[in-house]
Amino acid sequence: MSRRTEQDALSRTALGVFRLNGQFLSVAEKLAEPAGLTAAWWQVLGAVLPEPLPVAGIARVMGITRQSVQRIADLLVRDGLAAYAPNPAHRRAKLLAPTDAGRAAIARIDPGHAELAARLTAALGGPAAFEETVRVLDRLSAALEEVEAGTEREG
């Protein structure tokens, strides 16, 4: 593959991912609205459903800035959808955890989320095709992290 071809592939990939991001954000806003959430609030709450996390940990998982997560976390706490808890591993970095109200809000999203997942699975050609899509996106993300890490070490 020539350098020009590699550059074109990178450009097409980036544009596709940017478009996909916009599509996912649009769909997420529609799904979250009946629960009284925004897509961003849903993302942050969803990140702490399995276990409480510090804001920096949520930011790493989501690939966004700590400040953005902090702002959303504070709003979720203000509205009673999440709460801060002591972090045994770090005195100052409190853990964010969903409250019962936060879990209930996420549960209200579940029927629409399940319907979209079923429709998307069918549109992609079935569960195996959907799983392959996930694997390819995971590979792309891991490769980009590897390249970025190499660039940081070189700089």
- pLDDT tens digit string along 1-60? 899 999 999 999 999 999 999 999 999 999 999 999 999 999 999 999 999 999 999 999
Note the pLDDT of residue 91.
79
> pTM for this one?
0.84
Q: Which two tokens stand for residue 67?
A: 């400040």
Q: What is the edge-to-edge ordering of all strands in the sheet holding 82-85?
A: 53-54, 95-98, 82-85
- In Å, how far from its chain's centre is CA 13? 19
Strand-pair partners of 96: 53, 84
